[in-house]
């Protein structure tokens, strides 16, 4: 069984969880899919580690659990190299991009992905930044636009393991989408539901960080930017509308008070941070918004727990399709990356 | 654009709806997917019609709307031929199998599919019978078991447009499924919800038939067999457990009374016809059951309307994935067939 060579850029929560599921699911990958993935290169903020024969997964996991850079590992450590260097030089089949999100310039992720695609390496992203800033550019360099080019996949970018993109593109392949509604920022959902239960805002934020759900910079979540970026990705990938962040109207949950939540409950409603894509008719442009919204309890997305995310697609011939994902930590996000690796490799 | 040649066996509700969406989505298929499907053969209970250059879609739709067999169409009509004959002789890329379900011997659908696969023709099923009776046999004749063989797809067999199989296999490709719960018989869901609203059983059944949701023989729905067959398909296709109907414990909704429903509501619960796959540990066999079940209102599947179907997958690394589909008639089932045609052809 020829091994699938993976490179992993970024060893934060998602990257570390990905290494762990590579280990826990090894038998399943071999028996169910005939896959034998090996990690030939990794990079964290302190440097890189490289081994064309495949790095020792246990050693990698232990190194990160001890809080040490992979660059310090014996023999395989490369202190002078970073993620962009392994993207440029290491021979691999798939690069997994999980460096921190940056919404100003998208770096280092954007260059890492461009370099990898240029070299014919498939890319699996958990980092939303490159897609939010340069979707059409990356699409043009990948199988998104032309079948012969390397794959560009980003299941993990739109709500953890929630199969937002697959549902919208693959399952609704023959349908016209009339409207989309999404609650795909786990942090805001968790904060609002915790505030409903009596916790104060600051404590709720801290809890989401402790669980590894919040972004490195939680204001990206709280001010609605994370959800907005996901809506940008949905608009590009599912609605096939070239979209950038400035096309959206965005408002976060900073001004939502416990009193607002109480009043909504009294009305039989629930306040959520809702992302939506709507339009008055098929010929008009989409209206793309992220804002706190009071939903009637009868709405599909009004009854999710603090750990759930969901999306609703209203269509012409395929009825109304709805999906939710319940996730307590960052493991399912890593599972979504694994979904993409399997899809590319089989 | 080379046309994709389709054959359609069965022109009941689903078949007729499929013809209509081929027409309504023609532009979308061409512009979004580069597909130009033509129907080269069709068969209904009165005979067949064949045209290698592609049958006139408007004429076909009009013929069926007028209640006439396609065999009576001028020039293209073939009174002496049936579905098995077009499956044997017509040159086509994809056969769509939508003849009535038969759970005793699976005919004529089972032979039609075998003949088509033998000829290298891809098969898209809306007819559950062949899969319930002979899943492993059909899998062995198709790309399910070996990549070079023709495709076998059945999105439309497991809850209308609900992407039950795609969710379980593709989105959870790297995960272990721990438990499955499904409400995928629209007729029983509709009947129970109508009875909750005060309608009596017989009137509720008649309504589901009028809307084209109930099976040709409604006892298949009411006695739980339709849901059971869908669970057989899920067990084979998603849980990868060779399964036949006799492996399941099945009880339908015939004995559920309006009083039962009222008492459940008073307890804060809801009675549904639930299909489940559970097991005590990964090494044990699956327990597969279909039975009326009282769910707490907090359960994901307890709050669906009479037009909704849903499935829940509990997993090891991908959290809990849940999907619902709201469908008022048989059009979304046809949309699911179109999903498969697109997936095969692109």
ipTM: 0.96
Q: Given an 8 Å threshold on Cβ–Cβ distance, is A319 in contact with B160?
A: yes
Q: Please check whether residue B7 is in contact with residue B40, taking contact to mean a CB–CB distance below 8 angstroms.
A: yes
DSSP state letters, B54-92: ---HHHHHHHHHTT--GGGSTTTEETT--HHHHHHH---
Q: Which of A56-60, A102-106, B171-175 has the lowest mean pLDDT?
A: A102-106
Q: Chain A: give the shortest CA distance to residue B324, in Å.
A: 5
Which among B317, B325, B331 is the nearest to A317, CB-wise?
Answer: B331
Q: Which residue among B2, B64, B128, B230 is the active-site one?
A: B230
pLDDT, position A9: 98
A11-36 burial, b at 16+ Cβ within 10 Å, e below that, comes to: bbbbbbbbbbbbeebeebbeebbebe
Backbone angles phi, psi at A287, to 5 degrees: -100, 120
Q: Tokens for B159, please give them.
A: 């809850």
Measured between beta carbons, the chain B residues lying within 8 angstroms of A331 are: 317, 319
Q: Given an 8 Å threshold on Cβ–Cβ distance, is A322 in contact with B325?
A: yes
Q: Given an 8 Å threshold on Cβ–Cβ distance, is B339 in contact with A166?
A: no
- pLDDT (tens digit per residue) in A204-235: 888 888 877 776 678 889 999 999 999 999 99
Beta strands in chain A (DSSP E): 4-9, 37-44, 47-50, 77-78, 94-97, 122-125, 152-153, 177-183, 249-250, 269-278, 287-296, 308-315, 320-326
Residues A153-176, mean pLDDT to the nearest whole number:
97
Q: Please check whether residue B97 is in contact with residue B113, taking contact to mean a CB–CB distance below 8 angstroms.
A: yes
> Do B164-326 and B4-161+331-345 fall under one CATH topology?
no
pLDDT at A157 over 80: yes
- If DSSP codes are grouped into helix, strand and coil, which group holds residue A346? coil
Measured between beta carbons, the chain B residues lying within 8 angstroms of A327 are: 319
Measured between beta carbons, the chain A residues lying within 8 angstroms of B338 are: 173-174, 317
Q: Given an 8 Å threshold on Cβ–Cβ distance, is A25 in contact with B174?
A: yes
Q: Please check whether residue A180 is in contact with residue A277, taking contact to mean a CB–CB distance below 8 angstroms.
A: yes
Which among B170, B319, B336 is the nearest to A326, CB-wise?
Answer: B319
Q: Tokens for A104, please give them.
A: 């100003």
Which among A174, A319, A338 is the nearest to B338, CB-wise?
Answer: A174
Which among A240, A316, A323 is the nearest to B323, CB-wise?
Answer: A323
Measured between beta carbons, the chain A residues lying within 8 angstroms of B327 are: 319
pLDDT, position A209: 84
Pick among A144, A173, A322 to test the B interface (most B CBs inside 10 A): A173
Q: Please check whether residue A101 is in contact with residue A129, taking contact to mean a CB–CB distance below 8 angstroms.
A: yes
A4-161+331-345 has which fold?
Answer: Rossmann fold (3.40.50)
Q: Does residue A2 have an active-site annotation?
A: no
Average pLDDT over chain A reads: 95
Question: What does the radius of gyration of chain B's CA atoms come to, in whole angstroms?
Answer: 20
Q: Given an 8 Å threshold on Cβ–Cβ distance, is A176 in contact with B28?
A: yes
pLDDT, position A293: 97
Q: Is the dihedral of CA B82, B87, B93, B94 positive or negative?
A: positive
pLDDT, position B39: 98
pLDDT block averages, 10 residues each, chain B of length 346:
94 96 98 97 98 98 97 97 97 97 94 98 97 96 94 97 97 98 94 91 87 77 95 98 97 94 95 97 95 96 93 98 95 98 96
Residues A125-132, mean pLDDT to the nearest whole number:
96
Q: What share of chain B is helix, strand, coil (3-state, %, to 5)?
A: 40, 20, 40
Q: Is the dihedral of CA B208, B209, B211, B213 positive or negative?
A: positive
Q: Chain B: give the shortest CA distance to residue A339, in Å.
A: 6
Measured between beta carbons, the chain A residues lying within 8 angstroms of B32 are: 173, 240
Residues A36-44, mean pLDDT to the nearest whole number:
98
The phi-psi region of residue A179 (left if phi > 0; otherwise alpha if psi is between -120 and 50; otherwise beta) is: beta
How far is residue A142's CA from residue B64's CA, in Å, rounded to a whole number?
45
Closest by alpha carbon to A308, among A214, A184, A145? A184
pLDDT, position B3: 93
How far is residue B325's CA from residue B311's CA, in Å, rounded to a whole number?
9
Q: Is the dihedral of CA B288, B293, B299, B300 positive or negative?
A: positive
Q: Provide the Cα torsion A280, A285, A286, A291; round to 10°.
A: -90
Pick among B173, B313, B332 to test the A interface (most A CBs inside 10 A): B173
pLDDT, position B286: 98
| Residue of chain A nearest B345, judged by CA positions | A173
Q: Given an 8 Å threshold on Cβ–Cβ distance, is A343 in contact with B173?
A: yes
Measured between beta carbons, the chain B residues lying within 8 angstroms of A323 are: 167, 321-324
pLDDT, position A208: 85
Q: Given an 8 Å threshold on Cβ–Cβ distance, is A171 in contact with B339?
A: yes
Which among A166, A320, A338 is the nearest to B170, CB-wise?
Answer: A166
Task: List the domain boundaries for chain A.
Answer: 4-161+331-345, 164-326
Q: Given an 8 Å threshold on Cβ–Cβ distance, is B335 in contact with A303?
A: no
Q: Tokens for A299, please give them.
A: 């709405």
Residues A110-133, mean pLDDT to the nearest whole number:
97
* B47-50 and B77-78 strand pairing: antiparallel
CATH number of B164-326: 3.30.360.10
pLDDT, position A307: 92
- pLDDT (tens digit per residue) in A188-207: 999 999 999 889 898 888 88
User: In the β-sheet with A177-183, what is the strand arrangement from edge to edge?
Assistant: A249-250, A287-296, A269-278, A177-183, A308-315, A320-326, B320-326, B308-315, B177-183, B269-278, B287-296, B249-250
Residues A278-285, mean pLDDT to the nearest whole number:
93
Residues A114-125, mean pLDDT to the nearest whole number:
98
Q: Chain B: give the shortest CA distance to residue A80, in Å.
A: 34
Measured between beta carbons, the chain B residues lying within 8 angstroms of A212 are: none
Q: What angle do CA B192, B196, B198 make, to 5 degrees?
A: 115
Q: Please check whether residue B191 is in contact with residue B260, taking contact to mean a CB–CB distance below 8 angstroms.
A: no
């Amino acid at each position: 069984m020829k091994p699938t060579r993976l490179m992993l850029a970024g060893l934060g929560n998602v990257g570390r969880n990905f290494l762990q599921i590579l280990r826990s699911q090894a038998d399943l990958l071999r028996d169910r899919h005939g896959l034998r993935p090996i990690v030939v290169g990794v990079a964290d903020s302190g440097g890189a580690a490289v081994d064309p024969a495949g790095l020792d997964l246990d050693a990698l996991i232990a190194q990160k659990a001890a809080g040490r850079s992979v660059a310090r590992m014996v023999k395989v450590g490369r202190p002078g190299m970073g993620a962009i260097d392994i993207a440029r030089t290491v021979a691999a089949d798939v690069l997994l991009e999980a460096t921190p999100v940056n919404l100003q310039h998208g770096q280092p992720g954007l260059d890492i992905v461009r370099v990898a695609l240029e070299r014919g390496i498939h890319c699996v992203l958990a980092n939303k930044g490159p897609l939010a800033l340069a979707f059409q550019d990356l699409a043009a360099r990948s199988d998104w636009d032309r079948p012969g080019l390397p794959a560009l996949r980003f299941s993990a970018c739109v709500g953890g393991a929630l199969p937002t993109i697959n549902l919208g593109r693959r399952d609704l392949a023959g349908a016209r989408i009339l409207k989309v509604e999404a609650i795909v920022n786990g942090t805001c959902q968790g904060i609002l539901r915790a505030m409903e239960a009596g916790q104060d805002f600051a404590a709720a934020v801290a809890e989401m960080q402790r669980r590894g759900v919040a972004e490195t910079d939680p204001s990206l979540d709280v001010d609605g930017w994370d959800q907005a970026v996901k809506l940008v990705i949905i608009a590009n990938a599912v609605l096939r509308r070239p979209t950038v962040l400035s096309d959206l109207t965005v408002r976060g949950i900073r001004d939502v008070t416990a009193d607002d939540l109480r009043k909504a409950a009294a009305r039989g409603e629930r306040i959520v941070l809702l992302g939506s894509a709507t339009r008055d008719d098929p010929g008009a442009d989409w209206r793309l918004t992220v804002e706190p919204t009071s939903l009637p309890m009868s709405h599909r997305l009004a009854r999710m727990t603090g750990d759930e995310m969901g999306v609703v697609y209203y269509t012409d011939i395929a009825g109304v399709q709805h999906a939710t994902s319940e996730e307590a930590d960052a493991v399912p996000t890593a599972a979504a990356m694994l979904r993409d690796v399997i899809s590319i490799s089989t």
